[in-house]
């Protein structure tokens, strides 16, 4: 958005828009996950490697890298789907909320929750238990949404972190 006599700035999501982002994510991500085929050993290894890289970034307290790798981890799971257009739309929708994702990573308990949930997702994926993966993804998304909800209500979203 353009601010007169200031320049361009990243537009903040309104509460209603934020809710719509999470609604679209839930609907599309659920469909993609339910339609997955059992991943190959190589595909599973790629997802596991990304989960481990997220853990290493968390251990290093490199939160910008953790946020980037977190997105790559999720996109790798969605990318196992043959629904290329839907997966591309999920990726596009994710970008709307990315600036807000950095906020909950500053909380040690939030980071630990994300990492534990990622490990459970990898296990469900490895077992081909896609209904469990949907449940885990819903809980994962809800936890993030709840933390971001607190931030939006507190007004801390006035200047979301770019890194």
* Interval 80-131: pLDDT, tens: 999 999 999 999 999 888 777 667 778 888 899 999 999 999 999 999 999 9
For residues 149 and 64, the model is more confident at 64
What pLDDT does 151 receive? Answer: 56
What pLDDT does 157 receive? Answer: 44
CA distance 95 to 153: 21
Percentage of the residues of the chain whose pLDDT score is greater than 90? 64
What pLDDT does 162 receive? Answer: 41
What pLDDT does 5 receive? Answer: 74
CA distance 30 to 131: 9
CA distance 15 to 153: 9
Tokens at 88, concatenated: 């591309």
Lowest pLDDT segment from 8-12, 33-37, 88-92: 8-12
25-37 average pLDDT score = 97
Q: Collect all residues with Cβ–Cβ distance below 8 Å to 106 and sequence separation of at least 6.
A: 63
CA neighbor of 101 nearest in space, from 145, 138, 57: 145
Entry pTM: 0.82
Angstrom distances, CA of residue 31 to CA of 34, 35, 95, 142: 5, 6, 19, 17
| Residue 109 burial by Cβ neighbours in a 10 Å radius (0-12, 13-18, 19+) | exposed
Average pLDDT, the chain: 86
Residue 163 pLDDT more than 60? no
């Amino acid at each position: 958005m353009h601010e007169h006599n200031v320049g361009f700035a990243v537009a903040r999501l309104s509460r209603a828009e934020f809710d719509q982002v999470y609604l679209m994510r839930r609907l599309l991500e659920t469909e993609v996950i339910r339609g997955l085929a059992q991943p190959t050993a190589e595909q599973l290894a790629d997802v596991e490697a990304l989960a481990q890289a997220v853990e290493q970034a968390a251990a290093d307290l490199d939160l910008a890298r953790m946020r980037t790798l977190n997105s790559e981890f999720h996109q790798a799971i969605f990318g196992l789907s043959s629904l290329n257009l839907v997966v591309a739309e999920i990726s596009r929708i994710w970008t709307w909320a990315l600036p807000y994702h950095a906020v909950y990573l500053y909380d040690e308990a939030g980071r630990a929750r994300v990492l534990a949930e990622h490990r459970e997702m990898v296990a469900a994926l490895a077992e081909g238990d896609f209904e469990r993966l949907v449940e885990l993804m819903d809980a994962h998304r809800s936890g993030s949404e709840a933390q971001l909800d607190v931030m939006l209500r507190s007004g801390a979203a006035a200047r979301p972190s770019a890194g």
